[in-house]
Amino acid sequence: MKNRTARRISAGISNIIIIVLGVGMLYPVVWLIAASFKESNTIFTDPALIPKTFTLQNYVQGWKGIGIVGFGTFFKNSFIICGLCVIANVIFCSLTAYAFARLRFAGRKFWFAVMMLTLMLPTHVTTIPRYIIFRSLGWIDTFLPLVVPKFFATDAFFIFLLVQFIRSLPKELDESALIDGCGKFGIYIRIVMPLTMPALITTVLFTFLWTWDDFFNQLLYLNSPAKYTVPMGLRLFLDSSGMSSWGPMFAMSVLSLVPCFILFFSLQKYFVQGITTTGIKG
């Protein structure tokens, strides 16, 4: 009885701390949402958070996109690219990570160091040679330059992430599996994949979010407006040398956050359950 009250009080305190900190986190989104309902000619002149006049015009106009292509098309393109990248990263980064973390082979340390090096060169200077490669393949103005590299596990961030997670798994697990007659691939599929679920979910989430936001590459490789993506569409509302449509830009910014919110919200439940190793061990 006493125990339960104590637990309640501690939960109450946690709630309060979380909420107070959270208000600071929420402010920008509230501002963004409020701005998306303001008339364009008051966004930067009216300092009040809550707009005096509500208008849905920004959403209506923003959804029409850039006049020749609707915003729905940008969403569709972004979804296709992100979906393929997620699938590729989960499969190929985890395969590679498994090799680095668990397998013994000549040159392992060397290749691992090489992989880490690929993370350290700023991408702006490799832009042009990469463009030349994809152009010689005839891939310009297609989604291929954005998607195919992921099928070759070029995202070293996720490899390193998964390596760290796999290495922290108790090793006795694969030994017992080996005894049970699993091959390397069997261990990967039956032991490593399920046990690194939190890390794989993280990979899914970050791949999606980062690909969704990856403006620079999409700008370089996509030429036809019908193939443009969400971040490209957002940039097309703004032009420093002429007309900028701030209202629709903010409205579509809000809308572009929705898939990220939904994905995040639905995936975060996988971080709820701690793993138990007993079941497998026994």
**Residues between 42 and 71 with contacts to other proteins, criterion CB under 8 A:** 42-45, 66-68
On the CB side of 159, how many CA atoms lie within 13 Å of its CA? 24
96 touches other proteins by CB under 8 A: yes
Identified binder of other proteins from the candidate list 55, 63, 151, 177, rule CB under 8 A:
151
Identified binder of other proteins from the candidate list 52, 110, 171, 282, rule CB under 8 A:
171
90 touches other proteins by CB under 8 A: no
The structure tokens listed for 238 are: 């703004």
- Check: CB of residue 233 under 8 Å from CB of residue 77: no
Stretch that binds other proteins, among 50-58, 74-82, 89-97 (CB under 8 A): 89-97
Identified binder of other proteins from the candidate list 199, 204, 230, 251, rule CB under 8 A:
199
Sign of CA dihedral 249, 86, 137, 133: positive
- Least distance (Å) from other proteins to the CB of residue 238? 5
9 touches other proteins by CB under 8 A: no
Stated as kind and residue range, the H or E segment containing 29 is helix 2-36
- The amino acid occupying position 58 is N
- Check: CB of residue 80 under 8 Å from CB of residue 236: no
Identified binder of other proteins from the candidate list 79, 83, 87, 140, rule CB under 8 A:
140
- Check: CB of residue 174 under 8 Å from CB of residue 187: yes
258 touches other proteins by CB under 8 A: no
86 touches other proteins by CB under 8 A: no
- Check: CB of residue 203 under 8 Å from CB of residue 94: yes
- Least distance (Å) from other proteins to the CB of residue 47? 8
Where do we find the tokens 């996109």? 65
205 touches other proteins by CB under 8 A: yes
